[in-house]
Structure 1
Amino acid sequence: MSPPQGQATAASQAQHSSISSSQGLRPESLSESQTEAAARIYLDLLTELQNSASGESSASIAHRCIFLYTRYVFGSVPLCHEASLRATVGRFFEVEQHSPCEDALDIYRRALACLSSENEYSAIEKLRSLTLLLALCAAVSYAVPESLLPTKHLTAPLFVKTTRELLHLYHDYDLEHPESSSLTIRMFLSSAIQTSTGTNGVAFHILNEAGLIAMRMRLYCEASLEGRDPIEQQILRNAFWQLYVCDKTVLVMGGRPVSIHETLFDTQLSLNPSSPSPVTLFEYGPELDGADIEGRLLEGFHIIRRLWAMAARVIRGMESRSIGHTDKFTELYQEDMADLSKAYFEVITLTNCFPGWDLSPAALSPDTDCREIDKGLDDVLQRQKTSYLISLHSIKLFVLNSAISCNMTQIVGLSAAPLSLAMRIIELAQDFFNVLETIPFLHLQAEGEQCAEKIRRVGSLLLELAHNYDEEVVTSRASQCVQRSVNLLVRLNSKASDGVGGLI
């Protein structure tokens, strides 16, 4: 997690070779027309960035986006190699200044040179690295507030547009010869588009494409990672598990078809949660133990994964039993009510399983530099803790609502009395909003539209409760909670607030 001005070392750059190279398959070169189109898109990007950035260099913006990603936007698990990203900035943005004597043809030739094959880097690898960097910048620009990225409103749409144009140039090749960037580019694009539009159609289509690529790569099987570069292995492993969590979330909340599920695998799920020989993806400096930090991040992430996986298992199991036939996305239809209850209480036990973090030595030091190091570490840990808390408290509500809908409230240890169930929903909703209001607001913003969608869903449940009950105590408290949800969505500047706010 080096500052924006940090540079990647030559060793770090060389370490991250392509998936194709690691398997003995040299990527094909770009065609002449593809290279020329990429050069034009790249030059248009530089021109528009210079016009939009109010004096800030393109390299500075890109480095800043990388820094913000490693601090706030990475979510629960890293999906990029920081040193490689910074090397890409150096390759494409730190050579952008040109002599006033240079004519348009010279500038164009220099752009072509940036994209041409060179030593161990093929043209397709360079294009993929640039597309990945811009996809990350797009996701970051839409997630963080203007106070952290003053140019965001001008540059965010530009990053999305350019990423999509570049990906289109090699889209077919990318599908035939996928590697880690094939997944992460689509994940970043999906996040940026969902946040920018407040709608799900395009974003979900792109995310599903990432899931289908992961399935074609058979990333659910540990053997699929054999022979790959260690950094590529780490990113593929993390990306698969992140996509797995996304699809378990869909099984809980609905909204789109899933592409990653155990019943769709052609073998047992054997991908290990962590690598036997892990490598660090972010840069931490000599003051911090990067391997220990990312090891703990993985531990916390897989608790979040287990939360969503178990919640999906319980909800789909209840729904399957309630409608009297099997669901292809559940294995629980043969299990009895006691098994469902045990699965639910496993969710509850995960409440106290999130890893604790000891104060780093920097926290005890009066030195300003040490305190800044500790602040950076705190931001990373708070970012993941935010994801955990939002997941935990929203899951409790979604499972209870499903139990009520399926007339199986005994599974969650409650009677079927309507008033007591209504009050329990309100109690859990109040816990949810109380937790959200204690989280540093910047970290809620960094959660993006996924957080807003959970808030909107909770608000919709409460709105339905307020409309369907005659008891004053229920309607008044539910309405108060709905207003809290709208207030949060408005503060987050989410377009999802329109859906709830318009119904009050």
Structure 2
Amino acid sequence: MASRAAATHACDACRRRKVKCDATDLCANCRISRLPCQYTYKPKKRGPKAPGLARNPRSAPEPEHVHIAPSPPSTEDTSFWPSPTSSSFEGGKDPVKTAGLARTIRHRLLETLQSSLPSMVMLDIVNYCIDLYMQYTFPSAPSVHEPTLRAGAARFFAEPIVPDLHLFGAGCWPEQVADMRSFALITALCASNASMMPESLISYRESLAIPFLGASRAMLQLFEDWDLEHPTSSSILTRVFHSSALQQTTGKTAVAFHVLGQATLLVLAMRLYREESLRAFDDIEAHILRSLFWQIYAADQASACLCSRPHLLHEASLGEKISLRPPSEGERLTPLLDPSRPGADEIFETRLRVGFHFLPHLWSSAARLLLDVRSSGRADAETGAALRTHLTKAYMNFLSIMDGLPPWLQAANLMATPDDGAAARFQKAAFWVQRCTTLVTFQCLRLVILQQCIESEAWDVVGLTDQSLTLSLTKLGVIHDFVQTLDDIPFIYVQVKGEPTVERIRRVGIVLLEMICNEEDETIKLRAKHYFTRLLHILTRLDSHASDEMNSWQQ
């Protein structure tokens, strides 16, 4: 290493990070970040270049007096975050190096956020993201323990923002992993919510989503192999958040599905479809894992219904029946909400669990029905008659699910009143989220089932004949109910659902486009165009790329 007495320039670490260096033997930045402070860079001599040497403009050093503020890193920019080493993948062979990398990730995230949002307090930003999650996402994905989340936020983001030498390396490797897992989960949650929430709720979302996502993914890389061998609820949930954030920020559905597939494989590896598998965990972890399974299960069944990707959580492939019990209204489980917050009482959380389970129930019922409808064409006459009777009963069972919608999810009980306090507003907003998610899913699945019955020539399953006019009118009736459902729900609850709702709208839009292009009856074609225009208006307000795609189709 070059002698400090002879050094007249920034150390290597400060030069790479493009921050001002005090040029001491152990500079302040490296001392705080616990990074090696070395001075190996040799400035190039000024003056004319020697003949025959090509000029490389990237080799010119930055002026030492200029501080270049970090910009939010792209999720594609891997150079912003430190690269994990093989030792960090192998279960902490070099925990000191891993801890240094973890602290660097945290430091760069804080540096980026302070640069882009200099007037804001970091802990306030993180807590606000958690607030948004608990209000608008938790009702349809009750898979976090709020007190633990907030404690982790305070640990990593409390003022004053200085690197804590006790983070990521105070104890043994499992303790180090616990810190990295907590950081990866919190930043993943922030990335997911910042990318999904509309600007009316978080105007600076673009300044948060990409830096939080990059930091979370980089942190997960430091212990990924260990994480796969020793998975917890955080292992699954972090990847679920990554999938959501990737889909929202990049629009790369294949990448998002791949990451969600990793979470699904962890569910399989942990055998969370078995009730007895949860007995090895404490009450809070078991509660989160139970909710996570049904959340992942609903997403997997959605892929089966919409044919968007292969689905894995099928009893035929599991080799056994799913024995994990869904939550029930009378069951007492360890609370996940912070009881000190307005409205977070036991009755409310129990009702949330009941409302949440409508989604996996709808998706699984529709998935089984659609699978049978698709295979009904291969049955012989005798078997086919019995199968049609079975399919009709299955369709009626699917429709009857909505008959059990509890009173607290009825629209009449969710209307805001001047007398509502903070607790009532919080609870009503959560129930609106559940109502929106459930009804939009139900109406979309009605159309998917009808379309599949028509394609499989199984019209009698839904009580129809093969008359094309009748089929078209029935489709328009279902589409009317879908569009009307979107119009009847306060729009903020449609906005906060992000790409899943956009995907439902896109499915209905595809059916309308087919009718516009193929229907011969002008009245039906005009009605289809009318509903298509209404859907485009909704998509435009959702600020979705799907609206641009459908606009191009219409043209």
Normalised by the length of structure 2, the TM-score is 0.78
Q: Following TM superposition, by how much is the alpha carbon of 1:294 offset from its aligned partner in structure 2, in angstroms? A: 1.8
Counterpart contact for 1:382–1:443, Cα < 8 Å:
yes
Question: RMSD of aligned C-alpha atoms?
Answer: 2.6
Q: Following TM superposition, by how much is the alpha carbon of 1:95 offset from its aligned partner in structure 2, in angstroms? A: 4.0
Task: State the alpha-carbon separation in 2 of the partners of residues 358 and 454 from structure 1.
Answer: 21
Task: State the alpha-carbon separation in 2 of the partners of residues 269 and 60 from structure 1.
Answer: 41
Q: Paired residue for 2:492, among 442, 457, 463? A: 442
Counterpart contact for 2:228–2:266, Cα < 8 Å:
yes
How is 1:293-372 mapped onto 2 (pairs within 5 angstroms)? 293-323=348-378, 336-357=387-408, 371-372=421-422
Counterpart contact for 1:394–1:432, Cα < 8 Å:
yes
Task: State the alpha-carbon separation in 2 of the partners of residues 438 and 90 from structure 1.
Answer: 39
**What's 2:176 paired with?**
123
TM-aligned CA distance change 1:323 to 1:167, over 3 Å: farther
Task: State the alpha-carbon separation in 2 of the partners of residues 158 and 241 from structure 1.
Answer: 30
Task: State the alpha-carbon separation in 1 of the partners of residues 267 and 348 from structure 2.
Answer: 26
Q: Deviations over 1:113-140 (max 9, x none)?
A: 2222369981111110111001100111
Q: Following TM superposition, by how much is the alpha carbon of 1:333 offset from its aligned partner in structure 2, in angstroms? A: 9.3
Task: State the alpha-carbon separation in 1 of the partners of residues 385 and 103 from structure 2.
Answer: 58
2:538 is aligned with 1:488 = yes
Where do 5+ consecutive residues of structure 1 fail to align? 1-26, 99-109, 326-331
> Secondary structure of 2:350's partner?
helix
Q: Following TM superposition, by how much is the alpha carbon of 1:257 offset from its aligned partner in structure 2, in angstroms? A: 1.2
| Largest Rg, 1 or 2 | 2
TM-aligned CA distance change 1:338 to 1:28, over 3 Å: farther
Q: Which amino acid aligns with 1:268?
A: K
2:107 is aligned with 1:43 = yes
Task: State the alpha-carbon separation in 1 of the partners of residues 285 and 450 from structure 2.
Answer: 40
Task: State the alpha-carbon separation in 2 of the partners of residues 399 and 294 from structure 1.
Answer: 32
Larger RCO, structures 1/2 (Cα 8 Å, 6+ apart):
1
Task: State the alpha-carbon separation in 1 of the partners of residues 155 and 230 from structure 2.
Answer: 24
Counterpart contact for 1:41–1:162, Cα < 8 Å:
yes
How is 1:318-467 mapped onto 2 (pairs within 5 angstroms)? 318-323=373-378, 336-357=387-408, 371-467=421-517
Q: Following TM superposition, by how much is the alpha carbon of 1:196 offset from its aligned partner in structure 2, in angstroms? A: 1.6
Aligned residues: 458
Task: State the alpha-carbon separation in 1 of the partners of residues 450 and 409 from structure 2.
Answer: 34
Q: Paired residue for 1:477, among 527, 530, 542? A: 527
**What's 1:200 paired with?**
253
Where do 5+ consecutive residues of structure 2 fail to align? 1-90
Task: State the alpha-carbon separation in 2 of the partners of residues 206 and 365 from structure 1.
Answer: 39
Task: State the alpha-carbon separation in 2 of the partners of residues 116 and 412 from structure 1.
Answer: 61
TM-aligned CA distance change 1:352 to 1:179, over 3 Å: same
Counterpart contact for 1:444–1:451, Cα < 8 Å:
yes
Task: State the alpha-carbon separation in 1 of the partners of residues 150 and 481 from structure 2.
Answer: 41
Q: Deviations over 1:226-258 (max 9, x none)?
A: 131111001100001001000111111111111
Identity of aligned residues (%): 33
2:225 is aligned with 1:172 = yes
Task: State the alpha-carbon separation in 2 of the partners of residues 84 and 29 from structure 1.
Answer: 28
Q: Following TM superposition, by how much is the alpha carbon of 1:498 offset from its aligned partner in structure 2, in angstroms? A: 2.5
Counterpart contact for 1:234–1:279, Cα < 8 Å:
yes
Counterpart contact for 2:145–2:337, Cα < 8 Å:
yes
How is 1:208-219 mapped onto 2 (pairs within 5 angstroms)? 208-219=261-272
Task: State the alpha-carbon separation in 2 of the partners of residues 61 and 410 from structure 1.
Answer: 55
Q: Following TM superposition, by how much is the alpha carbon of 1:284 offset from its aligned partner in structure 2, in angstroms? A: 4.1
Runs of 4+ displaced beyond 3 Å: 27-30, 95-98, 117-121, 284-289, 332-335, 362-368
2:292 is aligned with 1:239 = yes
Normalised by the length of structure 1, the TM-score is 0.86
Q: Paired residue for 2:336, among 256, 263, 281? A: 281
